A and B are shown apart, each in its own frame.
Chain A
């Protein structure tokens, strides 16, 4: 049987590069680097994100921790978590490009300190500037269609809308908006933030999203490696289900074979 796992054509494609895993992991909040390493291995992911804002990156003082991430063999995706303006995010992105020799950036511009909701205006401004500078920008955004269209027009070749605010574990809060994004946008969409359970990740993949980025749900699990593995399998299952084609829901519970003793004309009505 040809499952999607074996199918090389089902790679996640971002900015023309292929990734075999559709799960991206964040690297904060783990009880220890050793536990984080186990989780990254169990998730079998290709890309991990890392925050730089508070590490005094210009001094290279975070290197002991970054070295652990490099050893994972994953591509490092620096993020601009903690930045509250386009200018801060752009400066940090430029610094991360030098430090890690990478044009990739997960762009975050935070508009609200309490729930870490993205600032759509600052995000768009920073995305335009960074795309102009040749960055491969993965913007963390809300599920607003017009914002996502503007980010697309700015040159973002993939978007990362939230499922729910960071760290809440609430899953897909606005299915209508997310479905709209999926129907209207022709770029890879990765659900970033807000997922708490593998079933929620599977649902996102069934809806046609291209990947999932997780941190808290794995890092704060009692057994992070086991949770990473559970998510990885849910994401594969959801992806395969989406490709296989989900059946349409029906209004009433209908027997799949004619019930004995019932005249056939009754089911045709």
Chain B
């Protein structure tokens, strides 16, 4: 960018939100310093552990209508941003599938009803027969007789995106500090190296900002990442089961992420055997060819959540804070970032202000 820096920003937290905000501010011609408590190449962020689905329909069933509306915006914003990042291939707008064992087909009916209740007509899914499922995903096990096709959904290659964002931030002259835990205050960041002043500090630390937010909590999520050349999937597949709803998301180079458990605990210890059995069972059920897949890693992370499980942005003199994206990072980040940037610029419409600018329930200003 040829424009002179207009303002000096500090962004605390180099997860998905922090990287997006830093990148957009740099593109606007501002000077940005990005801090993270952990590594930047394999960050401790929930966004690194996540599967990278952009699933406004399926997520609305487990949350609120506004999640759908914000998610719809993500479906248009991601391709625009990925084009600007010269990485359009990371976006996969191929929809998603929802399936259930024949004995659990009641779960599919329940899911359809909840979707209809939440969004009303017209139905936003296409019922599929077993043959339709085979035509869309030939490697899926043949036992599934019914499924749903959520055509408007998408997924993205999240780790590649995070790397691309970091590269863009560096190309644009962003100053990046890894392994640098900070405290954030209006117009000031304090690290072990001392205090530094900025025109504005933007706190995107997720669960790392818990000391700032009395009601922010972490919700444990566990994933497995596997590799196999024997199965190809073009889109995420969600398996409905009375006890758990888990999904598999295809990644580049024969990798798959299966996730994620949701446990009301701030436990960061390694994955439990129970969870690993459940996640493995989902893979094996969707395609027995996963049996010889290699487990590349187990992922454990904490989703940052306020009590309503919705994101909130607080904006005061010299300090803006965005947090609480819960299980919807890639789905809600575009709405949160657009809102936050409009707030910072002090101009333009702030999208979804009715949700995002609200103080989180029982969260006093801190």
Using a CB–CB distance below 8 Å, which chain A residues touch chain B? Answer: 31-35, 37, 54-56, 59, 61-65, 68, 82, 114, 116, 167, 222
Contacts and interface: CB of A to CB of B under 8 A. Distances in A.
19 contacts: A31-B63, A32-B308, A32-B309, A33-B308, A34-B307, A54-B274, A55-B264, A55-B265, A55-B267, A56-B265, A59-B267, A61-B267, A62-B264, A62-B265, A64-B218, A64-B266, A65-B265, A222-B114, A222-B117
Contact of B217 (A31, A65, A116): A65
Given A33-B309, A59-B267, A54 B218 contact: no
B272 interface: yes
Contacts of A31: 62-64, 309
Most chain A CB within a 10 A radius of its CB, from B217, B220, B265, B308? B265
A55 B263 contact: yes
Given A54-B261, A82-B274, 6 more contacts: A54-B263, A54-B265, A54-B274, A61-B265, A64-B264, A68-B307
Nearest to A28: B264
Interface string B118-144: 100000000000000000000000000
Nearest to A53: B274
Nearest to A50: B264
Contacts of B274: 54, 82
B364 interface: no
Contacts of B63: 31-32
A65 B216 CA distance: 10
Interface of B: 62-64, 114, 117-118, 217-218, 220, 242-243, 261, 263-267, 269, 272, 274-275, 305, 307-310, 361
Nearest to A165: B242
Q: How would you classify the secondary structure of chain A's contact residues: helix, strand, loop or mixed? A: loop
Contact of A167 (B242, B261, B308): B242
A136 B292 CA distance: 48
B323 to A, nearest CB: 14
Nearest to A31: B63
Nearest to A58: B267
Nearest to A166: B242
Nearest to A222: B117
For the complex, would chain B's binding face be called helix, strand, loop or mixed by DSSP majority? loop
Nearest to A82: B274
A37 B307 contact: yes
B269 A56 contact: yes
A55 B309 CA distance: 19
A32 B307 contact: yes
Contact of A56 (B267, B305, B310): B267
B35 to A, nearest CB: 25
A64 B217 contact: yes
A269 B305 CA distance: 72
A33 B217 CA distance: 11
Nearest to B222: A54
A61 B118 CA distance: 33
A34 B361 CA distance: 7
A149 B48 CA distance: 54
A31 to B, nearest CB: 6
Contacts of B310: 32
Contacts of B265: 54-56, 61-62, 65
A32 B306 CA distance: 9
Contact of B266 (A35, A63, A68, A167): A63
B269 A65 contact: no
Contacts of B118: 222
